[in-house]
Amino acid sequence: MTKSSKVASLIEELTRLAESGRPGDRLPTTRELATRFHASPVTVSRALSELAALRIVRTEVGSGTFVAPRQRPLDPDYSWQVVRLGTAGIDARRVEPLAATRGGADLLQLSWGFLSPDLQAGDLLTRAGVRAARRPHAWEIAPPEGTPELRRLFAASMGADADDVLVVPGSQSGIGLVLRTLAEPGDVVVVESPTYPGAVVAAQSARLRPLSVPVDGEGLRADLLDRALDETGARLVYLQPAFANPTGITTSPARRAELVRVAQRYGAFLVEDDWACDLGIDGSTPRALFGESADGHVITIRSLSKIAAPSMRIGAIFSRGPVTHRLRAARAADDACVPAPLQAIASEVLASNDWGRHVRAVSGALGRRRDALLAALSEHLPGMAPAVRPAGGLHLWLRLPPGVRSAVVVDAARHRGVLVGDGAHYFTDEAPGEHVRVSFGAATEAELEAGVRVLADVVGTVR
């Protein structure tokens, strides 16, 4: 057991001990507790300090440690809030999977939008963290738009100008910022169908109305987008041109050009979620759409959370023209700055010689995992082979056989220890069929094969 897990388990034991006593009861001495729980006195002291901070125990210097008075709530009545708040704007059903953590080691994680810890840039981040913490003025405030160093690095990766870059704490935050800054409550925001549920809840949070426009094998349908913008006057279109979540579709070059033309015709912004820009597998990662609109119709959002680690909450919004000032002002209104030490870590990592190696290693591993998943599907679930073999990203989009409900499959698979994504969460209105999303970033090849076996069993049973 590591030192910190010893402290954590001792905290649990001591909490139980305190809860079994009455307020004011004296706890045994540190030495007695150390003997009883087979821990060192230092570990006991650390556990007791944490319990004191949690107000479970109270320490009196020279007298000992006592069970603290319990802080019992008085059974408050919150029912007035139910009436006052009215109907919830954000669809909690969609938030739940977004807010999920990776889950226990006993689960096969085939529904996770990040990399498994073995593929994350843990060592690189740790080394960068040490260097960042040693920088002079490491804890000073940073400009609200981000440090000049990090903005330059992001700009270089995009072939953009540093002035076009606004640093944000991850792309979810960036999507929310763009949507609520550039549209008014009640406005329509066009989204692809199916789309990333995080964009839908960001739109809902900004009191916008998401309007679905279907995709085909080449990306968002430009003819239908034209009609949607004409009919609604919407000025925002949220889309993922590369390795879309959940479909894996990459927008074709011809379609990209058409979409930019439609945006120009209606004076709309294409909000490009380029979340998978570092997750190309087959060496064919498309350039961001940002480069295809010199006149500012494309706003691109990128993030390091996918390629580095989920808690690397650093992203960037790329934009041109007056909209950049609007976004910068809105960001400053939100928060003083993205924590400077985190920006320094990002800069250290992006500038390091090992970064390219890390990106290539992830690409290779994702390729092997994707292929293992495809192979397992063609062996165990041949009827459910995906329509798209994604050239990057993390997900496969699978259509269930007729009559099989996604919610039933997801539940049954979870009962058997396998997590897959419910396709219903990716549509904002009537879903054209039942789907599950199966992700290959967080499971090993063997786990993917084991997960697909269970999925095949489940689909066969619930059919």
Ligand X SMILES: Cc1ncc(COP(=O)(O)O)c(C=O)c1O
Nearer to ligand X, 198 or 451 (CB): 198
Selected binder of ligand X within 43, 147, 293, 303 (CB under 6 A): 303
Binding mask 311-350 for ligand X (x = CB under 6 A): ----x-----------------------------------
Nearer to ligand X, 18 or 308 (CB): 308
> Rounded distance, CA 180 to CA 389, Å?
34
Selected binder of ligand X within 120, 305, 324, 428 (CB under 6 A): 305
Radius of gyration from C-alpha coordinates of the chain: 25
Nearer to ligand X, 305 or 324 (CB): 305
Nearer to ligand X, 240 or 319 (CB): 240
* Minimal distance, residue 99 CB to ligand X, in Å: 11
> Rounded distance, CA 190 to CA 200, Å?
10
> Rounded distance, CA 222 to CA 50, Å?
57
* Minimal distance, residue 285 CB to ligand X, in Å: 15
Selected binder of ligand X within 273, 348, 434, 449 (CB under 6 A): 273
Selected binder of ligand X within 181, 212, 240, 251 (CB under 6 A): 240
* Minimal distance, residue 196 CB to ligand X, in Å: 4
* Minimal distance, residue 90 CB to ligand X, in Å: 16
The CA distances from residue 129 to 248, 410, 426, in Å, are 33, 39, 36
Query: Which burial class, exposed, middle or buried, applies to 170 when counting CB atoms under 10 A from its CB (0-12, 13-18, 19+)?
Result: buried
* Minimal distance, residue 137 CB to ligand X, in Å: 27
Binding mask 105-134 for ligand X (x = CB under 6 A): --------x---------------------
Nearer to ligand X, 33 or 317 (CB): 317
CB 407 within 8 A of CB 422: yes
Instruction: Cite the beta strand spans of 197-263 per DSSP E.
Output: 209-216, 219-220, 236-239
> Rounded distance, CA 99 to CA 428, Å?
19
> Rounded distance, CA 364 to CA 373, Å?
14
Count of residues near ligand X by CB under 6 A: 13
> Rounded distance, CA 463 to CA 459, Å?
6
Nearer to ligand X, 144 or 241 (CB): 241
Nearer to ligand X, 43 or 247 (CB): 247
> Phi and psi at residue 145, in whole multiples of 5°?
-85, -5
If one asks whether residue 144 binds ligand X (CB under 6 A), the answer comes out as no
* Minimal distance, residue 245 CB to ligand X, in Å: 4
Q: Between residue 158 and residue 217, which ones bind ligand X under the rule CB under 6 A?
A: 170-172, 196, 198
* Minimal distance, residue 198 CB to ligand X, in Å: 5
CB 301 within 8 A of CB 270: no
* Minimal distance, residue 210 CB to ligand X, in Å: 14
> Rounded distance, CA 422 to CA 124, Å?
34
Binding mask 358-397 for ligand X (x = CB under 6 A): ----------------------------------------
Point out which residues pair with 26 in neighbouring strands: 66
The CA distances from residue 64 to 24, 30, 31, 57, in Å, are 11, 9, 12, 10
* Minimal distance, residue 114 CB to ligand X, in Å: 7
> Rounded distance, CA 363 to CA 355, Å?
12
Nearer to ligand X, 297 or 306 (CB): 306
> Rounded distance, CA 233 to CA 227, Å?
10
Nearer to ligand X, 64 or 310 (CB): 310
> Rounded distance, CA 272 to CA 317, Å?
10
CB 315 within 8 A of CB 303: yes
Residues forming contacts to ligand X in the complex (CB under 6 A) are 113, 170-172, 196, 198, 240, 245, 273, 275, 303, 305, 315
